[in-house]
Structure 1
């Protein structure tokens, strides 16, 4: 028979020598209180996420201004006459434009520059030459809102929408071959007047629009007598171009030129064909 194993007793110091330490090693402080462990990178990241970042300053937006604010400025005169190839439709005259009495007169506005780069004019015209557009290039100009303001934000949405039928009547009266909408927001206002809502991203596009969007073709009621020209005219074709305002910076200059170029090519071709 085997003898039972003798049970050995181990002292406290012996157990201590055989014990293996794991974990974080800390250095005792003079006061005897263990210092707080330094945060790991993950803890730092969580701490940074928890602390709020300083709020960014926002530029104050312009508010609606009644017509009386700019009553001392005269509305811009439309440059319209029959037999034009195209008519440009702007939003409304700015203060600089209304003061000078000529279209797109602010130095930061790229309208005259884009007319030249797209081939609509053979040189860069000055704002003072706007009255010569029909004679020199068979082109005209008008706005969806006639009264001046510092910027578009000073106009009421209702007066912008109300300008659509007035614009349609102008186009019907002078019957240009095409209308160039100078800015996405203008086309959105026209679309909203006709459809009760703004176009979706899928519905909006720069460039030529479908024939059903032609302008100036008024919805005649049954029984109303119209002359032959009104009955046969299908309306003015619509080309939606970019805004030329210096406040509009959503597109780069090269992108704007690319959007304007097809319209310039078409107008040049129509001049040759005439």
Structure 2
């Protein structure tokens, strides 16, 4: 009996030993698997991240390629220049009234009313237009006026306003050269009637149009000059009147970028000083009211 018990105990011990070895072997394999899994998982994650970045880059590139034409087209639209537009296009807009009285010190001559000006009913009404700013900085006015004050110019400062073309348009490019030139005799007649001391041409293009009418050709580069023009260029001459002296200034339009602001100031300043002096001479003050 003792031998049998001893044999059974030995068998149980052997079975436990084998089971322990098997468990150890399994754990070893499991650990190897786990280690292998941890080693491989970051690689897969890295591939996914890399793949995601690639997709994002490709998507961004597609968006960039897709946006490029529209951006270019948008820029092109902003830069697109106007073409001639017939009077019928803006026939629904009111005409801007001249501000004229006899014997003014000066009358400003613009190109034509813009849409904003025609709608407002006051000269140089677009916020980007520098007319009222330059009028003040040059000394033509002692304060910066609003467009609504255009009607007060004769009473306050002995100044007036008119245009070479009366019909409104978006900009000067919508006018033809011929109709601008044809505005010259209309101006001459106004000046003969009201007889201002001077006329201030607000923009090189206006003077070029007047020149085309008078001389039937374009003005040459060496013939153009800013400021006071030769005495023979006086406007509105009559049998008993020598006409108004002509001063050419830069355009005040926000679309006009050929001159720097400081250059425009330099062109306007001498005229403003002259206007102030004439008011002092005539009224004893720089303001007539």
Superposed counterparts of 1:127-206, under 5 Å: 127-206=147-226
Is residue 127 of structure 2 the alignment partner of residue 116 of structure 1? no
Distance 1:213 1:115 in 2: 24
Q: How far did 1:231 drift?
A: 2.9
Is residue 93 of structure 2 the alignment partner of residue 73 of structure 1? yes
Distance 2:204 2:177 in 1: 15
Please tell me whether Structure 1 or Structure 2 has the larger radius of gyration of its CA atoms. 2
Q: How far did 1:272 drift?
A: 0.8
Distance 2:92 2:264 in 1: 34
Structure 1 match to 2:245: 237
Aligned residues: 208
Gaps of 5+ in 1: 1-54, 218-229
Distance 1:113 1:60 in 2: 28
Distance 2:219 2:85 in 1: 27
Structure 1 match to 2:232: 212
Q: How far did 1:62 drift?
A: 1.1
Secondary structure of the residue aligned to 1:231 is coil
Distance 2:230 2:87 in 1: 35
**1:72-121 CA distances to partner (integer Å, 9 max, x unpaired)?**
10110000010100000000000000000000000000000000000000
**1:185-210 CA distances to partner (integer Å, 9 max, x unpaired)?**
00000011101112111100000001
Q: How far did 1:61 drift?
A: 2.0
**1:200-256 CA distances to partner (integer Å, 9 max, x unpaired)?**
111000000011000001xxxxxxxxxxxx433110000000000000011111110
Secondary structure of the residue aligned to 1:116 is helix
TM-score under structure 1 normalisation? 0.74
Structure 1 match to 2:268: 260
Structure 1 match to 2:33: none
Distance 1:198 1:263 in 2: 26
Is residue 116 of structure 2 the alignment partner of residue 96 of structure 1? yes
Distance 2:154 2:131 in 1: 16
Distance 1:160 1:209 in 2: 20
Secondary structure of the residue aligned to 2:199 is strand
Structure 1 match to 2:53: none
Distance 1:60 1:120 in 2: 35
Distance 2:222 2:177 in 1: 23
Q: How far did 1:156 drift?
A: 1.5
Superposed counterparts of 1:24-35, under 5 Å: none
Indicate the structure with greater helix content.
2
